[in-house]
Chain A
Amino acid sequence: MKTRDLLTCGGPLLGLLFVCAVFALLIGPQFFRPVNLELIARQTAIVCTAALGMTMVIVAAGIDLSVGSIIALSTVVIALLLKRDVSPLLSALGGVAAAAACGLANGILITRLRVVPFIVTLGTMLIVRGAAKGLADERRIEAPATWLNGLLRTVEAGRGLFVPPGIWVLLVLALLIAGVLRYTVFGRHLFAVGSNERTARLCGVRVERVKVAVYAISAALAGVAGVMQFAKLSVGDPTVAVGLELDVIAAVIIGGGSLTGGNGTVLGTVLGATIMSVVAIGCSQHGLANWVQQIVTGSIIVLAVALDRWRQGSRSV
């Protein structure tokens, strides 16, 4: 078990070390200043939080293209609630609940209509985006400043937190999801459904229930990512996070997840998300244009999967 996990995470870990080494050479040791590391962590937080949920979905051989839209909806709901003088905590929970409802709808549509998740979530991606815009009247929604805005703000020295509270939230969630995947009946059922749905059904796994649950949980995590997005922008923006679902999927894939299901780890996903932000920040700090960064990230995705195939191929021989 442990050696296998090490093998799955070995690739992403080496990849992270590699990109760090490249930028250390290009930029110099100041790339690893604490300020910069914190910047990387903050940059990673939103994608990584959503990617935790996506990891579970992809382990179960599903896909969720609607997470970007769900994040936007979540920010809009939070801003609207805050404007109505709802407490910050309840507003944030409201955003997460709205997101979870979207995921529940995804799961029910996928299992009841028997339409493949790619198509269902492609549809709900547009539907949720439209709903967010309608709810916000196609405008950004200004909200009163609260402690929510401090979630991803740099912590002043000596406050004892080291990193922004949002990062702590992410770490706790990551540990929780990792535990669920490895140590619970639900987690093992996710792997079974993703590895061979017919076997899971034969063994009495309630496949439909598992699927609905995983899409709801994934969307709820996208809602948490929405809380962080709101913290970063301090407004509710229905046009935010367009295309973010692809970054989220990429993080899972770089981290060793397989779109055919049955594979994926939380640690791998966290590493994958980190690789992407290291590349983004490294490129911009080295003065490379955005287009270079995109080409590099794209190459890493293809390379990561190709290396994974090659490694698995050589292992089975």
Chain B
Amino acid sequence: MRGVSKSFAATVALDAVDLSVAPGEVVALVGQNGAGKSTLMAILAGALAPDVGVMTLDGRPYAPRDPLEARRAGVAMIHQELSVAPHLSVMENVVLGTEPARAGFVQRDRARRLTQEVLARLGHADIPPEAVVGRLSVAEQQLVEIARAFAIGARVLVLDEPTSSLGREDVRRLFELVRRLKADGHAVVYISHFIEEVKEVADRFVVLRDGRNAGGGPTAGATREEIVSLMVGRRVEDLFPRSARHPGEAILEVEGIGPGSIGFTLHRGEVLGIAGLMGAGRTRLLRTLFGLAPVRSGRIRLGAYSGAAAPPRRWEQGMGLLSEDRKGEGLALGLSVAENLALSRLRGLGPGPLVLPARLAAAARRWIELLGVRAAGPGQAVRELSGGNQQKVALARLLHHDVDVLLLDEPTRGIDVASKAQIYALVDGLVAPPAGPEGGRAAKAVLVASSDLAELLGLCDRIAVMCRGRLGRPRPAAEWDEHALMMAATGTGDAA
């Protein structure tokens, strides 16, 4: 791939990126979330078309129009979320879409032979072709998907975060498989956050940062630190206003939550950040605190209330959650700005159980103005707003409810820089409220989970790093830098 670029509306996702992989070579593609890895791989696998750039396969031009064409050309991608049909058998999955057939009838014998052959080549002849895939382990299901790729003659295999849901032993076996493929002369692109894995399995690494090639080289000669600093880079952004903050009473105390036995204390007037990679358990922690995920062990104390509680109680107790999944959970896209904004607190917008549309609109209009939401009015459907404005509506809900503890999960994911800056300023104002004529409002407490390290460093007073379900000790933001955060998040540094 040479000079591949791709833009989505105004956002440049990839800017003239080069990537090459030779037969019998394993290349690791690394970078932070949002660095452009997924976009690049989607282009390689035919799911997206590049705006500019050329791709060649075996010296011939390669421009797949869809994933099927890419697979037929010999490029197969194994996603983090597997796409096997759980109700079908192993052999049915392996030949899915390319069933050997005569006159429309599937030739089961040929399908079985092909499946056995491929599985044997992968060194896993022990998986019976008749087994129902849904009953296999995740590692075996992954293998079925890899087998499917080779059943139609894949020569380039892309593995996207293949170890994220595997146990230690399965990871070892996967690495063996990758080495076997390499020995057979296949080309493998290996995407991972985990530097250790990259060093173990890959020959070369390529770093993407902000949609550009940030460097690369043979893994043998590179230290972890070198790779991490290439991933992090240096970004000087003056997006973060920082008023004088005066942390007050402890308002949220957590002890021994979940298998990682997580504990921390959040005070009024401070922003506590939780860094970590995707899948480290940040979202799960926030959802557990908010009562959207079950509390299996440990203690939570929120102000005067102790113990777990469901979301309706949490809102009443003064806690609100901003979901990381803005479109799937955070907002009801079909409903209006006003309804989304006030949904958690409709009472008080009319006498008794009534909601008066005029009061609802007035309440919404206030936040639309305060937050500078670009909307035609409170009645406009949220679907029609831009991502940044949608996020402001979702955040305004917490403000409308006037909660004391704000749990923000990826508060600025996928939104424009201007909206980001506004949200940062807003959060700063919440924890350090300006002394108003009425003597000022009480300072709020904010817990931010984010995979954007610069954001955490700029926004937070203290930061703790989460890695594989365990949360490290929160330390003052001044003691961290992106490099140290990334080291801790990838499990390479000392997380404590």
Contact = CB atoms under 8 A, between A and B. Distances in A.
Interface of A: 1, 4, 182-189, 191-192, 195-196, 198-206, 262-263, 316
Given A192-B339, A195-B335, A205 B355 contact: no
Contacts of A205: 312, 343
Given A188-B355, A202-B321, A205-B343, A4 B335 contact: no
- What class of interface size applies to chain B in its complex with A? 35 or more
Given A192-B332, A195-B334, A198-B325, 10 more contacts: A1-B361, A185-B355, A188-B346, A188-B355, A192-B343, A195-B332, A196-B331, A196-B335, A200-B332, A203-B311
Interface centre among A189, A196, A263 (most CB of B within 10 A): A196
Sorted nearest first, the 5 A-B pairs with minimum C-beta distance are A196-B332, A195-B332, A204-B312, A203-B344, A204-B315
Contact of A4 (B350, B356, B379): B379
Contacts, number: 84
Given A185-B346, A185-B347, A262 B311 contact: no
A90 to B, nearest CB: 28
A294 B163 CA distance: 58
B329 A202 contact: yes
Contacts of A202: 292, 311, 321, 323, 329-330
Contacts of B323: 198, 202
B333 interface: yes
A191 B350 CA distance: 18
11 contacts: A195-B334, A195-B335, A196-B328, A196-B335, A201-B292, A202-B311, A202-B323, A203-B344, A203-B397, A205-B343, A263-B334
Given A184-B355, A185-B353, A199 B329 contact: yes
A307 B220 CA distance: 63
Interface of B: 292, 311-316, 321, 323, 325, 328-335, 339-340, 343-344, 346-347, 350, 353-357, 361, 379, 383-384, 397
Given A192-B343, A204-B344, A262-B335, A199 B357 contact: no
Contacts of A316: 383-384
Contact of B335 (A183, A185, A192, A198): A192
Contacts of B361: 1
Contact of A196 (B312, B329, B354, B384): B329
A256 to B, nearest CB: 13
A183 B354 contact: yes
A200 to B, nearest CB: 7
A316 B325 CA distance: 23
Interface of A is mostly: helix
Contacts of B397: 203
Contacts of A184: 353-355
Contacts of B339: 188, 191-192
Nearest to B323: A202
Given A185-B346, A204-B315, A262 B357 contact: no
Nearest to B339: A188
B291 to A, nearest CB: 9
A185 to B, nearest CB: 5
Contacts of A204: 311-316, 344
Contacts of B311: 201-204
A192 B355 CA distance: 14
Max count, chain A CB within 10 A of own CB: residue among B335, B343, B361, B379: B343
B315 A203 contact: yes
B258 to A, nearest CB: 20
B340 A199 contact: yes
Contacts of B329: 196, 198-199, 202
A182 B329 CA distance: 23
Contacts of B321: 202
Nearest to A261: B334
B353 A198 contact: no
A191 B333 CA distance: 12
Contacts of B354: 183-185
B321 to A, nearest CB: 6
Interface centre among B314, B334, B354 (most CB of A within 10 A): B334
Contacts of A183: 350, 354-357
Contacts of B384: 316
A262 B353 contact: no
Contacts of A188: 339, 343, 346, 355
A198 B356 CA distance: 25
B180 to A, nearest CB: 42
Contacts of A201: 292, 311
